[in-house]
Amino acid sequence: MGQSKENKGEVVPAHIAIIMDGNGRWARQKRLPRIMGHYAGVKAVEKTVIAALELGVKHISLFAFSTENWKRPKGEIYGLFGLFRYFIRCKIKKLKEENIRLRFSGRIDFLPDNLKDLVKWAEGETKEGDRLDLVVCLNYGGRQEIIDAVNRILEASPKDNDKAKGINEEDFRDYLYLPDLPDPDLIIRTSGEKRLSNFWLWQSSYSELYFTDVLWPDFNEDELRKAIEEYKSRERRYGGI
């Protein structure tokens, strides 16, 4: 679970997770089409990742497309997929130069082939990156992740007597999408909404939550620093005293 029990001090969160919300409202305020809000959201991703790198964050995870986002109009969904492909293609060189590992979490197999193939390719290309682990959650849902884990355990159990007898938390983690990813120390949500919306449900048990009214396209290094300062002032007890 990362760090010291009492976290008041100078400890930068090892894993920051972000619910990037408010792209649509940002576009509406500017009388632009929604997709322009998402495009501005990609620019905010770039700024935030560079800032995280400089601040010494080790893992950053971004909720980019949820299992519930399929309810949006087709044009917006495919516009978003186009932006994810653009991000991967255009940024892969920079990610490699900066030693950033790019990986994805979610039901990737259900994505269109042209995105799925690019996702697999990008993961392979950046697998040696050890300065920052950038996790993009695509077609991700926390409940779905837990259900997928349970189904994989059930599939494995007839072959594995130990699992059939019951499993503990540590064993369960092995069946999550990214078992080696530490739980988020800090979860940030932009745009004033105060919910987790099915993000990292298993992993968020002891995460510190930070909510800001800033819309995602306006998020930047200063906003990230503010969130980290707030995190540093909190005391983490993990159920102890």
Active site residues: 21, 69
CA–CA gap between residue 218 and residue 121 (Å, rounded): 30
83 lines the binding site for ligand FPP (CB under 6 A): yes
111 lines the binding site for ligand FPP (CB under 6 A): no
53 lines the binding site for ligand FPP (CB under 6 A): no
CA–CA gap between residue 61 and residue 39 (Å, rounded): 18
CA–CA gap between residue 133 and residue 115 (Å, rounded): 20
Residue (90 or 154) nearer to ligand FPP, CB: 90
Q: Using alpha carbons, list the distances in angstroms from residue 191 to 70, 104, 113, 195, 214.
A: 21, 24, 32, 11, 5
CA–CA gap between residue 165 and residue 156 (Å, rounded): 12
Of the ranges 18-26, 164-172, 174-182, 206-214, which one interacts with ligand FPP (CB under 6 A)?
18-26
CA–CA gap between residue 128 and residue 100 (Å, rounded): 8
Query: How many residues touch ligand FPP (CB under 6 A)?
Result: 20
- Closest Cα to residue 198, out of 140, 153, 237, 150? 140
Considering only 2, 13, 18, 21, the residue that binds ligand FPP (CB under 6 A) is 21
Considering only 16, 51, 62, 214, the residue that binds ligand FPP (CB under 6 A) is 62
Of the ranges 76-84, 120-128, 155-163, 233-241, which one interacts with ligand FPP (CB under 6 A)?
76-84
Question: Which residues of the chain form contacts with ligand FPP (CB under 6 A)?
Answer: 20-25, 38, 41-42, 45, 62, 64, 69, 80, 83-84, 87, 136, 191, 216
